[in-house]
Amino acid sequence: MEGQGKPMNFAEKVAKANSRFTHKHRNRTVNAGVGGNPRFELYHAAPSLCSMKVRTVLAEKSVPYVSHDLNIMVRKDMPECYLPDYVRMRLLGAPEAEFAQGYTGQSSVTTEGFDPCVVPTLVDHEKEKVVVDSSRICVYLDEETSGDRLIPGNLSNEIGAQISLIDQAPHVATLYGAHPDHDPRPKGLKTNIAGVHAKKIVKLEAARDEAGDEATLVAAYDAKISKESSAADFVFSPDRMRDIHKAMFNHVGDLEAQLSTHNGEWVMGERFSMADIMWTVSIYRMKWLGLGSAWEGNSERGRVQEYVQYAFDRPSFRAGVVDWPFAYGPSPHVPEFAGIGATIRFFIELFRRGQR
C-alpha cells in the first residue's frame, strides 16, 4: 500500500499498474516503429466510446504506443479499470479534480467531473506525465506528435466548439438505458447490460476494501459508487430517457448544421480534422445502437447521409474502431456486425481476450 515506506515515483507507479496487465492479446505495441520502447502507453477498452476517439487519433497520425486494452466488463473478475494500482496511477492526471458523483447520461469531464475508475488514460514517458479525459488526450497527442495537425491553429476555436458539442451528447445513457416506447439496441447488449450498475457497485466496494485506509483512493471509490447509484435511477426514468433520445436526435442536427455551412467534404470544409474523428465515432455508435433514423431517410439530414458514406471508411477510423478487436458486438444495424458471422467472431474474441 502506498504510504508505507518510501513513496513510489512516477515510473514505479506506472510499473505497478502494468504488473496486472499481462494478457498478451490485450497488452501489445501498436504502430510499432524502429527503435526502443514507445513514448506513449494507452490504457483503454475496446468498446469504450472515449477510447475509440483516442485510438483513431493514434491511427490517423501513425503514432507507436503500448496498448493496454483493459477488461471493463463486469463478470467474475474485477474490471481492470477498478484496480487500485490503475486508479492510483490515473489520479496523477487530475490531482486537484473534483470527482464525478452524479449522473446526467454524459461523460464529459468538463461538465460531470472526473471519474477515476474509467478509461482512457495516457502515459507520456518522455515527460513523465499522465493525461486523462479523451478530449484532452486527443489534443495532447496532436500537439506532441509529428505530422499534419488535426487541430490547425487557424481552426482551433471552431474545432474546439465542435468537440464540446460532441462531449455533451448523452451517449452513456443511450447505451445503458432503453427508450421506454421503443428500444432498438442490439439484443446481446440489452441482455448483458441488465442490472449492470448494481454489479458495478459490488466490484467497486471490493476495490475500495482493497484500497485499505488510503484516503484518496477510498474517496475515489466512494464517488464512483455514488455515480453508479445515480445512474441506475436515471436510466429507469421514462421521461429522462425520452429526453435523452431527443437530445441525440438534436445532436445529429448539430452535425447537419455544421456541414451545411460549406460545400467541403469534411466537418470544417476541405480539410480532415479532429472534429471529423469525434463526429465519426459519435455517429457510428448511434448507428450501432439502432439510432440511425436520426438521419437515415430524413430529407432534412441530407448532408449527414452523404458524410457517413465516406467518414465510416476512413482508414484510421477502421483501424481504431471498426476493425479493432471486440470494439463492437453483434448488431443488426450495421453491416460489419450483422449476421451469424459477427456473432461467431465476437465469441472467439471473447475467448481470446480471456474475459470471464
Judge contact between 207 and 268, C-beta under 8 A.
no
Say what the pLDDT of residue 123 is: 98
E strand or H helix at 173: helix 171-176
Say what the pLDDT of residue 88 is: 96
Q: How far apart are the first and last CA of the chain?
A: 27
Give the strands of the sheet with 65-69, arranged side by side: 27-30, 65-69, 40-44, 121-124, 129-132
Percent of the chain with pLDDT over 70: 97
For residue 171, pLDDT beyond 50: yes
pLDDT band at 356 (very low <50, low <70, confident <90, very high): low
Burial of residue 303 (number of CB atoms within 10 Å: 0-12, 13-18, 19+): middle
Rg value, the chain, Cα: 20
Judge contact between 76 and 356, C-beta under 8 A.
yes
Whose cell is 466548439? That residue is 161
pLDDT band at 1 (very low <50, low <70, confident <90, very high): very low
Q: Does domain 10-352 have CATH number 3.40.640.10?
A: no
Judge contact between 211 and 225, C-beta under 8 A.
no
- The Cα 318–Cα 332 span in angstroms is 19
pTM over 0.85: yes
Average pLDDT score over residue span 320-324 = 98
Judge contact between 208 and 83, C-beta under 8 A.
no
pLDDT band at 7 (very low <50, low <70, confident <90, very high): confident
Over the stretch 32-91, which tens digit does the pLDDT of each residue have? 876 678 999 999 999 999 999 999 999 999 999 999 999 999 988 899 999 999 999 999
Q: For residue 123, what are the CA distances in angstroms to 30, 89, 207?
A: 15, 9, 23
Average pLDDT score over residue span 330-340 = 96
Amino acid at 200: K
Amino acid at 291: L
Domain boundaries, the chain: 10-352
Q: For residue 354, what are the CA distances in angstroms to 228, 259, 346?
A: 26, 43, 13
